[in-house]
Every structure is written in C-alpha cells, then in structure tokens.
Structure 1
Amino acid sequence: MRVIEDIISDRGSKYAVSGAPCGSEEEAKALIRELKKSKKFAKATHNTWGMIGAEGPVKNDDGESGAGAITLRMLERAGLRDHLIVVTRWYGGKHLGGDRFRHVQDAVRIYLADLGLSAGGG
C-alpha cells in the first residue's frame, strides 16, 4: 500500500493519504485492516475511504460524514477504477468545519498526482 504521511496540518489535525489497487469491498476492508496494523493508523480518528470496482462505488466515512463521497467523486473524475484511496485524519482538538472537506479533497489530489493522474475540479 502506498502511504503519503504528514501532507496536511491544520489546527492540530494531521492528515495522510494511502491507496492500493483494489477490486472489491472485501479487498478494501482487508487493505484497511493491513493499514491499521500500524499503531499510528490504528489510533487515527478517521480512516475514510472510497473505491470504484466492478460492483460499483463503495465508501466508508468512518465518522467523518461526507468524506467517502468526496473521495468517490474525485476517483470518478480522475477515471481511476479498481483502486482504493484512504484519507486518514488525526483529530487535533479543534473543529475544522467545512475546511475538513477541503483537506480530504487536497489529500486525494496529492495521492492522484503521485500516481500521475489529475483529479479534475474540486
């Protein structure tokens, strides 16, 4: 799994983005379990994710309402299928309001750029 850490920091919250080729929801959940074997990721406040496979789009907000839908929309715009993207947040003690959605978008953009893809618009 490709992991890009310490990409965004805002009011104490920190973000990372990870991903890997993935063809099903079961495989996505297995990859998340593998990611959480790292104590750092297991202790994260949110590990939100999305992937578009043969069975259609699948997402999980992990308590960060709306984050999975943002990831799915960006995967769709980039034309990336059969690939899981996980945005991890460690809560820093201050609410970010709508900025948290911008941070999810930025994290996915960083991951897509690392793959050599464009995320299109926000």
Structure 2
Amino acid sequence: MSAPAHTLAGPCQHVEEVKKSRFLAQAAPVESPEQALAFVRQVSDPSATHNCWAYRIGQDYRFNDDGEPGGTAGRPILQAIEGQGIDRAVVVVTRWFGGVKLGAGGLVRAYGGAAAECLRTAERVPIVAMARLALHCDFAELALLKARMKDAGAHIDEERFGADGADLVLSLPESQVAEAQARIVDITRGRAEARRLD
C-alpha cells in the first residue's frame, strides 16, 4: 500500500444521529502527536458520554475508546482515516448517549461511519515532501537571494546576521531543492552553497 498523499485543508465536522445517540465527528490537520492531543483536549466535551479519537501522522498513530468497549470506537476511527487515504490528521468523535444501546457492531459502524463521513466531505490538500537548506551569503546578495528563493516556493525559517553576512535556513518543496541550490550558486557566483539539513 502506498503512503497516503493527502491531509485536510482545515478543521471539519459532521453530525449524525444513530438510535437517539448523537455523534459529532471533528477532524483537523496536525503535524505532531502533541498537536493531535491538543486538538483532542480542545474539542472534547466533558458533558458528553464519550470522546473517542484517533490520529495518524506518517507511521505514528494512536487511538482511544474513552470508556466504550475495547475496539469499538478508536480503532474504527483510525480505520476511517486510513480508508480515506488521509495522513497527518486527528479525528474526535463525541457521543451523547440517547438511551438505546447499540451493541459492539453498532458502535463500530456509528464511530467509524461518523469519522469516515466527516473525512469524505472534507477539503483535502496534497502533502508536499519538504526539505531544509542552510546557507551563508553576503549582505549584498541577500535581498536578491530572498526574492529568488520565494519565487522557488521556499520559506525562510531562520535568518541570523553576523559581521560577514547572513545565515539562512530555508524550507522548500523537495522537488525544488536542486533548482534552488543551482540558483543560489548562480546568484552568489559560487560564493554560497546551500547544504541540506535533513
């Protein structure tokens, strides 16, 4: 199976009712487990019966049934994330119990279904593999260098100034690295060379 190539464009949600229980699925793009858990804390409703969740970030994943029978909530949410080919995302499904027990199969369908529908209708963006470059340049070349790197899709993460020029750390799409390195050598007439940090 190839790695998922999409994440969510932004937070999204979906509500459905199953046998008088209300299920609210809320999803968001995340870059780290810490971000995922912060989202879980932010959207969980302490007055709800259960706040079940799952996240996947590359090979890293976790899920939680929050008191529902083992395997009936967190895992189906994770399977919904994987089934939709989504990566770098967290989904929280909150349940307000309506008085009718759903049974294990019903819970799996309700949690997994709410999560899948939330993700199915969400706007997606492709995940672009990023690289980081570091370089040192003279002050005279800095403005032109920054402008050309911006044109190449690079973002300046760090900029430090010393007596003999500037140190830059750039992040840019992996596909642009070779071209950016060539441009840097070109602009600085070979005085600066960008080295990869990752």
TM-score range, shorter chain: 0.7 to 0.9
Q: Is 1:73 paired with 2:91? A: no
Q: What number of residue pairs does the alignment pair up?
A: 111
Q: Is 1:110 paired with 2:117? A: yes
1:16 Cα deviation from its structure 2 partner: 0.8
Q: Is 1:4 paired with 2:14? A: yes
Counterpart of 2:121 in 1: which secondary structure? helix
Pick the aligned partner of 1:59 from 51, 60, 63. 63
- d(CA) in 2 for partners of 1:78, 1:9: 22
CA RMSD of aligned residues (A): 1.8
Q: Is 1:28 paired with 2:36? A: yes
The one-letter amino acid paired with 1:23 is E
Q: RCO greater where, 1 or 2, for CA within 8 Å and sep 6 or more?
A: 1
Tell me the TM-score normalized by structure 2: 0.51
1:93 Cα deviation from its structure 2 partner: 2.3
Over alpha carbons, which structure has the higher Rg? Answer: 2
- d(CA) in 2 for partners of 1:9, 1:54: 32
- After the TM superposition, which segments of 4 or more aligned residues of structure 1 sit over 4 Å from their partners? none
- d(CA) in 2 for partners of 1:112, 1:2: 8
- d(CA) in 2 for partners of 1:106, 1:76: 13
* Uncovered stretches (5+) of structure 1, i.e. residues with no partner: 118-122
Tell me the TM-score normalized by structure 1: 0.79
The one-letter amino acid paired with 1:52 is R
1:2 Cα deviation from its structure 2 partner: 2.5
Give the % identical residues.
33
Counterpart of 1:75 in 2: which secondary structure? helix
- d(CA) in 1 for partners of 2:54, 2:89: 9
- d(CA) in 2 for partners of 1:95, 1:20: 29
* Uncovered stretches (5+) of structure 2, i.e. residues with no partner: 1-10, 125-198
1:109 Cα deviation from its structure 2 partner: 2.1
